[in-house]
Structure 1
Amino acid sequence: MIEETGRVVAVESGAVWVETLRKTTCSSCAANAGCGQGLMDKLGIGARRGHVRALCDLNLAVGDPVVIGVREDLLVRASLLVYLWPLLAFFAFAVLADCLALAEPLIILSGLGGFALAGFAVRRHSRRMANDPASQPVVLRAMLTGPAGP
């Protein structure tokens, strides 16, 4: 599981909305000292708040700190779908247009058409999967906010 901490901002039946702080991974990079993006990360310029709907069977209230998680295989499949399929479609349509001996402008337009077609297919697939409980983040645990013990 890939985990992220956040704070509950809304409660629904069977789910909660969690506010997370999105930031870059530049703070852990070896070239952090000489990089402008690393400096922006230190200043908080790259940090933004995001809201995520996560499935939950715990009794939580607004303001509770939680840890949410997403399965690694879902993240890998989603990355391949979003990044690889449009790129492959771009090249496939361009190569097909080249094999048909079309003019260069038509080869370019064919590649862009394949890219757009794959983009629409990814969007359609994403909308179908949006309501699938197996592809949504889940609340793994609530974090203690006060002192523990008797």
Structure 2
Amino acid sequence: MLVESGKIVAVEADGLWVETIVKSTCGSCAAQKGCGQSLMARFAGHTTFIWVSLGGRDAAHYQIGDSIELGVPEQVVANGSMLVYFVPLLGLLTATVGVHHLGAGEGLTTLAGLAGLIAGGALVRWRAYVTRHDSRLQPVLLDDQQPVKFA
């Protein structure tokens, strides 16, 4: 389970809005200093707002400004990364090779590759839309006790 800490920015009856700075996988990534994600997070302070279900916990125990820990299963991150990168690339290659084998010229082959890339991206977007409420893919609240307040 990948663990990310965050700060509560809003409390609702059935969930929390949490502000996070994306950095959980930076230490284990092979790219290390060559990655733009960690660089942007460090310098721009890139934050993400995530809605997290309370999972039956009482919302009264949480207040704005509290620090909490979130968890996402590693398999969800791995599968999501594979989907986001592989499907558009597969669309690009399939369209390019398919049109090239039909005898199309370089310009049409390039356009077909671009169309395949866009179609793959659209397929990823559709899949994200369809699975947006799947509880297995959502972050979970790891703190089972009263969160620690920011000073």
| TM-score (norm. length: structure 2) | 0.79
How many percent of aligned residue pairs carry the same amino acid? 30
Of 43, 51, 54, which residue of structure 2 is paired with 1:53? 51
Given residue 89 of structure 1, which amino acid in structure 2 is its aligned partner? Answer: G
Aligned to 2:26: 25
TM-superposition CA deviations, 1:86-136 (whole Å, max 9, x none): 011101110001111111101111111111111111111101111111111
Distance across 2 between alignment mates of 1:31 and 1:128? 33
For 1:118, the equivalent position in structure 2 comes to 120
d(CA) in 2 for partners of 1:30, 1:125: 28
Q: Indicate the residue corresponding to 2:15 in structure 1.
A: 15
Report the AA paired with residue 78 of structure 2: V
1:130 partner SS: coil
What secondary structure sits across from 2:142 in the alignment? Answer: strand
1:62 corresponds to which residue?
A: 64
| One-letter identity of the residue aligned with 2:26 | T
Q: Which runs of 5+ in 1 are unaligned?
A: none
Q: Distance in 2 between matches of 1:75 and 1:30?
A: 17
Task: For residue 62 of structure 1, give the secondary structure of its aligned residue in structure 2.
Answer: coil
Q: CA RMSD in A?
A: 2.8
State the aligned residue count.
139
**Quick one: distance in 2 between partners of 1:84 and 1:29?**
19
The structure number with the bigger radius of gyration is 1
Gaps of 5+ in 2: none
Closer, same or farther: CA 52–91 of 1 in aligned 2, 3 Å:
same
Change (3 A) 1:97 1:121: same
Find the residue that maps to 2:43 and give its secondary structure: coil
C-alpha contact (below 8 Å) 2:65/2:149 kept by paired residues: no
Question: How far apart are the structure 1 equivalents of 2:43 and 2:118?
Answer: 32
Mapped partners of 1:15, 1:64: distance in 2: 14
Change (3 A) 1:31 1:130: closer
Q: Pick which of 17-26 and 87-96 moved more.
A: 17-26
Deviations 1:54-112 (A, max 9, x none): 12233322221100011111111111111111011101110001111111101111111
The residue type equivalent to 1:116 in the other structure is: I
Query: C-alpha distance in 2, partners of 1:76/1:109?
Result: 30
Q: Does 1:2 align with 2:2?
A: yes
